[in-house]
Amino acid sequence: MFETSQLPLDTVLLNAVLVHIGFGNLFSRIGAVSRIRIVNVDILQHYVLPFFTLYSMPGYKGIQYRAWLSAVEYVLSHRVYSEAREIKLTALLKDLSAL
């Protein structure tokens, strides 16, 4: 799953990203953050990853994205379950959680 949140002032920007990608959901409530969420693996692989590789996010969100990207790339290249895969994914997710 890919999810990013922004201040409500950036709702138009998040919507523009979804329109460009063509898939996903926008969640926005008054007084809360706005967020986009995409859960389809094929959409992540063929639309989200290329988009955010081309238009990288600066700052802390960029650091989080790169850590998340490491886990996604690993899953995409190791689709069959194994104990080694789970150990590697657990380590990658711990790194991401530590941010």
**Tens place of pLDDT per residue across the chain (99 aa):** 788 888 888 888 888 888 888 888 888 877 788 888 888 888 888 888 888 889 888 898 889 888 888 888 898 899 898 999 999 999 988 888 887
Nearest CA among 44, 70, 60 for reference residue 5: 60
**Confidence (pLDDT) at 87:** 93
Task: Give the homologous superfamily in CATH for domain 1-55.
Answer: Homing endonucleases (3.10.28.10)
**Confidence (pLDDT) at 53:** 87
**Confidence (pLDDT) at 7:** 86
Give the three-state DSSP class for 82. coil
Q: Report the C-alpha gap between 53 and 19 in whole angstroms.
A: 17
Q: What angle do CA 98, 4, 52 make, to 5 degrees?
A: 100
| 36 φ/ψ angles, rounded to the nearest 5 degrees | -110, 150
**Confidence (pLDDT) at 79:** 87
- Ranges of each domain in the chain: 1-55, 58-99
Q: What is the DSSP letter of 30?
A: T
